[in-house]
Structure 1
Amino acid sequence: MGTFSIWHWLIVLVVVLLLFGRGKIPELMGDMAKGIKSFKKGMSDDDEADSAKTVEHRSDETVASAKEKAGKTS
């Protein structure tokens, strides 16, 4: 009673084919594969961008001016 017979699966297959058509299912799978590939590429691009970040140093800021700024905010 809890398992599906071959007839159940054939009926489900026929309904799916009627809803989506024969050519639509491979097209959907291809779109899904393209989405996964672009997601992986985006994740690898983010990793490369994160590793390329550097700390910027300002030559015009000195220790004394940093202390002044700290004193004004406290």
Structure 2
Amino acid sequence: MGSLSIWHWIVVLAVVLLLFGRGKISDLMGDVAKGIKSFKKGMADDDETPAPKASEPPRPLPHQASPAPETEKKAV
């Protein structure tokens, strides 16, 4: 009684087909396949991203200005 035989699976499959119909299930599987293909394409696009161009050196931010000369620093 604890295991499911082939007849149990056939009955479950028949009920699912009656409830959802063959058209809805095939549409659902098509949508799943499109989603998987889109995911794989997105993962492949991430791997092929080019490195950023290094045409000009990075500029320092205003709050990261060069250190003040030693004469302007206060002694502690």
TM-score band by shorter chain is 0.5 to 0.7
Aligned residue pair count: 66
Q: Which has the higher contact order (CA 8 A, sep 6+)?
A: 2
In structure 2, runs of 5+ residues without a counterpart are 69-76
In structure 1, runs of 5+ residues without a counterpart are 62-67
Identity %, equivalent residues = 62
The structure with more radius of gyration: 2
Normalization by structure 2: what TM-score?
0.64
Q: Distance in 1 between matches of 2:2 and 2:11?
A: 17
CA RMSD of aligned residues (A): 2.9
| 1:21-40 correspondence to structure 2 within 5 Å | 21-40=21-40
Normalization by structure 1: what TM-score?
0.65
Q: Which runs of 4+ in 1 moved over 2 A?
A: 51-59
* Higher helix content, 1 or 2: 1
CA-CA distance at 1:25 after TM superposition = 1.3
